[in-house]
Amino acid sequence: MPRAPIVVYPPSDEGRRVRADGEAIGRARDERELREFLRRAGLPDWETADLTDPALVEWRGGGPEVWE
């Protein structure tokens, strides 16, 4: 199975680190900020993308409901 193109790391005081295709693209503090990173990474359906889809997002240290 191919790796997910987006990796979201465990929460920290500064938010969750986000990588797209192996490149660090910032820290998200909530779903809105994560979706902005998806937009910047060129994901065509970033507004409606299923963030629980493991083919799209690999969550480390908690899923999309965990931000702190």
Domain range for 49: 6-59
How many folded domains does the chain comprise?
1
Burial (CB < 10 A; 0-12, 13-18, 19+), residue 38, is buried
Q: In this structure, is residue 65 part of a structural domain?
A: no
Q: Predicted confidence band at 3 (pLDDT cuts at 50, 70, 90)? A: low
Residue 66 lies in a domain: no
Q: Which of 59, 45, 42 is nearest to 8 (CA)?
A: 59
Distance from C-alpha of 6 to C-alpha of 51, rounded to nearest angstrom:
10
pLDDT of residue 1: 40
Indicate whether 67 belongs to any domain: no
Whether residue 16 is contained in a domain is answered as yes
Q: For residue range 8-35, what is the model confidence (pLDDT) as tens digits?
A: 999 999 999 999 988 999 999 999 999 9
Cα–Cα distance between 12 and 21 in angstroms, integer? 22
For 28, the 3-state DSSP assignment is strand
- The reply to whether 64 falls in a domain is no
Q: What's the pTM value of the predicted model, to 2 decimals?
A: 0.90
For the chain, what is the mean pLDDT? 91
Residue 43 domain flag: yes
Whether residue 17 lies inside any domain: the answer is yes
Q: Has residue 50 been placed in a domain? A: yes
